[in-house]
Structure 1
Amino acid sequence: MAEARTNGSLPVASVQELAKACNGVADGQVPERYLSKDPTSAEEAVVVAGDDDEGACAIPVIDFHRLLDPRSSEVECARLASACRHWGFFQLVNHGVPDEVIGNLMSDVAGFFEQPLEDKKECAQQPDSLEGYGQAFVVSDDQKLDWADMLYLQVQPIESRDTRFWPTRPASFRHSVDAYSSEAAKLTYRLLEFMAKGVGADPASLRGVFEGQAQGMRVNFYPPCRNAADRLVGLSPHTDPNGNGR
């Protein structure tokens, strides 16, 4: 998300606060701009097709331990290449990121969103940036919105961080992000090498495309809303940025 420095987002209401208002009264109304089309209307069916040995309705699952093991690496690498070619995404299991690192980050993220609104607003987005607390890519006052609050931070390289948007509460937040982003980067670089190998390229080539590029972290909070649960979308369909060859 390199454009975070130049493209901003219009400020919108906190979804957490809207959820409190809607859930607090029997006839609480969700604003129309958060509602998807009527659930009784006809919608296109989504067909999910999976990997050859996991059935027709399974997202490809890649085992990182099998990639590292010389006895299974070639087969798992071929499965990884197939997932990239035919799906464009996959679930990675046995990734090796320590449970403690993940748990600390999740706890601190939850701690941030549990704060009063005024405290969270200390990290609010600014007009020229997507970083901070708010919602991304809001460009008009009438567009449909996701039922979620967001905190987006640029975490790597360290010198690119804008600390205006970094929470100071919980006190361990920055340490947790440092530990997690470091583990995620190491895992990503190894995975990129296997992806290149799977398509017959030099393992260092794909890693070289991404090495040194900005690393962002986006966390979303989806508050429950019993009044319109079947018409709310937490994260709209979207395309994430791609790596560009040098």
Structure 2
Amino acid sequence: MDCMKEWLEPIIRVQSLSESGASSIPKRYVKPPAERPGQVISPNEGTHGSNVPVIDIRSLVNESNPSDEATLRAISQACRDWGFFQVVNHGVSAEMMATMRDSWNEFFRMPMAEKQRYANSPATFEGYGSRLGVQNGAILDWGDYFFLQLFPESIRCKEKWPTCSTTLCETTEKYGRELRNLCRILTQALSVTLGLEKTMLWRAFGEEEVGSSLRVNYYPKCPQPDLTLGLSAHSDPGGITVLLPDYRVLGLQVRRGDEWITVKPVADSFIVNIGDQIQVLSNAIYKSVEHRVTVNSVEERASIAFFFNPRGDLLIGPAKELVNNDRPPQYKFMTYNEYRLYMRKLGPCGKSHIETMKA
């Protein structure tokens, strides 16, 4: 059996394990000691006083001042120092964000038999899933998810779009278009802050054929949260990730040096992070950063990640304007379709995937 076409092991839903009432987690979910989260954060209170930068992008969204130097400078600094930042006044209504959260929370509350109709496979990962990598015997994360390809529409697996809700598909479609527009604005800001022509990154990603996908992450309550993670440490393989967080329950942590910083979302904000493809295109001026997700024994947690990626068949490498004698190309050229196979085969593995692209 081909591991890229069919799962080689039975798929167990973490939600079912959580709801079984067991007092311990199966060994398949127990992380090696060095990867365990240690002291588990309270679901409503972070362990650190720091937070990723919060940036008001109203001037960029409204085009009242698309060259607002203060905002661009804040974005550039956040990309260099953190690889993460939160955006407020981003143009997506709080009502739309709430409807999106409510619609997908409703899906995960449905009977298991209904959710199983949309079970995914390694071939595309679209649909209802519980693991990212396909390796036999891999240590698993304590989380389920639903993954959808959004754009270009030609690559959607339409039978995986849930029909069990009258509003979910319509809401997801509208949300996806608004997030794609937001990411276009962000690519313009990143291009300018890198000293590139304003539309450079948008064009490098494929313009109207840019790839976009959505993953709804569901992290059930866990009886032993100190032994596992909802999502292991990794950097995102794509271009830009825009996360609609769970404002009630903390869990996202960002690596900063040797520390793991718990992100405290600001109301109605999105959390934005740089992916591996921006690291490559910027010739490592901007770097993707490892992050992970903790779980807890008190509250379930959900978040919605929008991934803005290069079109799959385009070669991605360092922008020629950012290569010179003092800064030679750091990475070789590769298509995003080739690159994302690392995540599909191996699952989240820190920053190891991008090491394969070193020139």
Shorter-normalised TM range: 0.7 to 0.9
Q: How does 1:35-184 map to 2 (within 5 A)?
A: 35-37=30-32, 57-67=50-60, 68-70=63-65, 73-184=68-179
Distance 2:181 2:64 in 1: 17
Greater Rg over alpha carbons, structure = 1
- Return the letter of the residue paired with 1:218: R
> How many residues in Structure 1 have an aligned counterpart in Structure 2?
223
Distance 2:103 2:37 in 1: 41
- Equivalent in the alignment of 2:224: 228
Whether 2:203 is the aligned partner of 1:204: answer no
Whether 2:213 is the aligned partner of 1:216: answer yes
Distance 1:151 1:194 in 2: 30
1:34 pairs, out of 21, 24, 29, with 29
Contact persistence 1:130–1:136 (CA under 8 A)? no
Cα deviation 1:125-147 (Å, max 9, x = unaligned): 13422111112423233211111
Amino-acid identity (%) = 33
Higher helix share: 1
Judged with a 3 Å threshold, the aligned counterparts in structure 2 of structure 1 residues 71 and 12 are, in CA distance, closer, same or farther, namely closer
Judged with a 3 Å threshold, the aligned counterparts in structure 2 of structure 1 residues 106 and 198 are, in CA distance, closer, same or farther, namely same
Quote the offset at 1:205 in angstroms. Answer: 0.9
Distance 1:126 1:146 in 2: 17
- Return the letter of the residue paired with 2:160: F
Distance 1:101 1:8 in 2: 36
- What SS does structure 1 have at the residue aligned with 2:123? coil
Quote the offset at 1:42 in angstroms. Answer: 11
Q: CA RMSD in A?
A: 2.6
Judged with a 3 Å threshold, the aligned counterparts in structure 2 of structure 1 residues 219 and 8 are, in CA distance, closer, same or farther, namely farther
Cα deviation 1:76-101 (Å, max 9, x = unaligned): 10111122233222222221111222
Whether 2:235 is the aligned partner of 1:239: answer yes
| Structure 1: runs of 5 or more not aligned | 1-5, 44-55
**Structure with greater contact order relative to length (CA < 8 Å, sep ≥ 6):** 1
- Return the letter of the residue paired with 2:55: I
Contact persistence 1:9–1:135 (CA under 8 A)? no
- Equivalent in the alignment of 2:18: 19
- What SS does structure 2 have at the residue aligned with 1:237? strand
| Structure 2: runs of 5 or more not aligned | 39-48, 239-276, 278-309, 311-315, 320-359
- Return the letter of the residue paired with 1:224: K
Judged with a 3 Å threshold, the aligned counterparts in structure 2 of structure 1 residues 203 and 134 are, in CA distance, closer, same or farther, namely same
- Equivalent in the alignment of 1:49: none
Query: TM-score, normalised on structure 2?
Result: 0.57
Contact persistence 2:103–2:168 (CA under 8 A)? yes
Cα deviation 1:122-180 (Å, max 9, x = unaligned): 00013422111112423233211111001100011222211121111112111011110
- Return the letter of the residue paired with 1:58: N
Judged with a 3 Å threshold, the aligned counterparts in structure 2 of structure 1 residues 171 and 33 are, in CA distance, closer, same or farther, namely same
- What SS does structure 2 have at the residue aligned with 1:178? helix
- Equivalent in the alignment of 1:189: 184
